[in-house]
Structure 1
Amino acid sequence: MDITRRTFLHGAGAGLALGGLGAPRVWAETSLTFGTLQVQTLSDGHLVLPPDFIFGPMPQAELAPLLAERGIDPLSPLTPDCNVTLLRDGARLVLFDTGAGNAFQPTAGELLTALDAAGVAPEEVTHVVFTHGHPDHLWGVLDDFDDPLFAEAAHMMGRAEWDYWYNPETVNTIDSGRTAFAVGAKRRLAMLEDAITLFDDGEEILPGIAARATFGHTPGHMAFELRSGSDSVMVVGDSIANHHLAFARPGWNSGSDQDQETAAATRTLLLDQLAHEQTRLIGFHLPDGGLGRAERDGDGYRFVPETA
């Protein structure tokens, strides 16, 4: 299994920055090759989130020293990376999630730039596979004219996730702070209705790609095991959504999860499996391109990024 990492300079103003007039965005694209598969993580930018969006439901007295140990200011915005996974396997070019597009946050929606840096045109993508329907994973599926961006691709989503976001009642039952999530998801999925393939837990959705139910962050969230021979990597989406508390205290409820108790149980079981089997993982919001391992660390775990 071979790992490489390249550094790119991109983003609005990058050209000016070279002349000293701005601050470019620098990010690492990580590539992992095993068997017939080549996996790349591509940056869609990053989010800006209030701390309470994750830390709000956690036990505050126990939380404070853990944040201090990790140099995290509990009053400062969180800026998690957004890593889209691209799989090359012969003639197949499979994209896991599509990023945020241009309608969510101005710091995200950079997938097209990242694909261009990787030498990939949108029409070359053969399959788009969604982990779940949140804006930073789904909203980039449409272009600036509200047409499917990956027009030549087959689109795939877990059945439970599709049913949840496509249900017209979801907008009335979801937490009021996420109403826009439901409206945006329904509009985009309606555009894909004739091109979508649904699947269930445990299915091999494409050769070498198995779906794994990781419910809780959303009602039908899916992870995917990519396997070639004896090697594998798990695309975990947002089932492990950050590199600090999600690893150190996986059983704590996180405000980012829609069903917090289910998500915590899912996260704990998944981390136990990944650490025990030493399976590599790719997390959508993990640092350094998102690729690494989970290792036991006392009562919890820690994220160990892969290096070339």
Structure 2
Amino acid sequence: MNRRGFIQSTGAATLALALPQRLQARTTLEHGGTRIDMLSDGYLELPADMMLENMPQDELAEVLARHGLSGDQFEPPCNLVLLRDGPRVVMFDIGAGPDFMPSAGHMMQAMDSLGVAPEDITHLVITHAHPDHIWGLLDDFDEPLLPNAEVMMGRAEWDYWMDPDTVESIGAARQSFAVGAQRRLVEVEEHVSLFEDGAEVLPGIQAMSTPGHTPGHMSFVLDAGGQGLIVTGDALVNHHLAFERPEWHSGSDDDLEQAAQTRLRLLDRITADDLTILGFHLPEGGIGRAERLADNRYRFHAGV
């Protein structure tokens, strides 16, 4: 057994005993010959004021109370999309890996439960390069976790994180994001292919620019056996405020106004085309639908 195999086998056994049940949940969707599994990578522990400080406080309290949210910390789930379609085994984002926070970086347990090994992944499609989405690119020995995967990323997102000036311009609170992204992307650079907005990155998978959370953030519209689906990454970062008040500015975004306009445009497209959402931080496995209400208000419904 090589050293990666040893880590995977012993790590999966340890996590199965140590992690709470919510880290082991997954949701499966099948259409025609396509199967989609939502794999849990764990959850984040985030200070609530990071997201809420720019929002109208008088209205905010009512929305939070209605969703049972209180306290000074949010714990959003992290859901990775695994698509299997004939010889293709495609992952959308790769999770946080071992270096971001203890509650995240656990998707190997979910993969193991499906009998899927890192060597089986043929393509890795990246929405954006924040730590919880790409820091899992490397294993504990700084080797690529997915040795056989083509890594696919929007050109604007790649250029932003690989620009040496980003480390200085991103702000002190997020400098580690830039350093971590560059270190990991350099290690997989020879396996990377870049694409533009609107490109069919793989048959049945079309890139859709959804900037604001990061400068080059991409979502992906999928045709799975005639069913329309959309991988939204962090363009819709939660199931409450992002849907009910998409125009409010979230502190988790790079460009506050651009991200708000992206949410409005994206939710309009999702409801108009009746797309099923595959959401990275959405609850109950991350699969659901959006209902259009009045005045640019929407509601998230978990489930198929």
TM-score interval, normalised by the smaller of the two chains: over 0.9
- Conserved 8 A contact 1:157-1:199: yes
Count, aligned residues: 292
Question: Is 1:78 aligned to 2:80, yes or no?
Answer: no
Give the TM-score, by structure 1 length: 0.91
Residue type at the aligned position of 1:77: Q
Question: Is 1:131 aligned to 2:133, yes or no?
Answer: no
Q: In 1, Cα distance between the equivalents of 2:97 and 2:168?
A: 25
5 Å-filtered alignment, 1:167-206, equals 167-206=163-202
Match of 1:244 among 240, 243, 260: 240
SS of 1:234's partner is strand
Match of 1:62 among 59, 68, 77: 59
Q: In 1, Cα distance between the equivalents of 2:218 and 2:119?
A: 25
Instruction: Indicate the percent of aligned positions where both proteins have the same amino acid.
Output: 53
SS of 2:25's partner is strand
SS of 2:98's partner is coil
Question: Is 1:15 aligned to 2:10, yes or no?
Answer: no
Runs of 5+ unmatched residues, structure 1: 1-9, 18-22
> If each structure's helix is expressed as a fraction of its own residues, which one has the higher value?
2
SS of 1:233's partner is strand
Q: In 2, Cα distance between the equivalents of 1:287 and 1:145?
A: 32
- Conserved 8 A contact 1:12-1:24: no
Residue type at the aligned position of 2:289: R
How far 1:66 moved relative to its partner?
1.2
- Indicate the larger mover: 295-304 or 25-34: 25-34
- Conserved 8 A contact 1:11-1:110: no
- Indicate the larger mover: 27-36 or 181-190: 27-36
Residue type at the aligned position of 2:122: T
- Indicate the larger mover: 32-41 or 167-176: 32-41
Residue type at the aligned position of 1:122: P
Q: Look up the match of 1:35.
A: 32
| Cα distance change, pair 16–296 in 1 and its aligned pair in 2 (3 A) | closer
Q: Look up the match of 1:295.
A: 291
Deviations 1:79-138 (A, max 9, x none): 000000000010000000000000001000001111101110000100011000000000
Deviations 1:187-242 (A, max 9, x none): 00111111100000000011111100001100000001110453111000000000
Deviations 1:243-270 (A, max 9, x none): 0100000011101111111010000111
Question: Is 1:50 aligned to 2:47, yes or no?
Answer: yes
SS of 1:303's partner is strand
Q: In 2, Cα distance between the equivalents of 1:293 and 1:24?
A: 25
Match of 1:261 among 257, 262, 268: 257
Match of 2:280 among 256, 261, 284: 284
| Cα distance change, pair 169–113 in 1 and its aligned pair in 2 (3 A) | same
How far 1:64 moved relative to its partner?
1.1
Deviations 1:283-305 (A, max 9, x none): 10000110000002333111101
- Conserved 8 A contact 2:34-2:225: no
Q: In 1, Cα distance between the equivalents of 2:13 and 2:67?
A: 28
- Conserved 8 A contact 2:15-2:109: no
How far 1:70 moved relative to its partner?
1.6
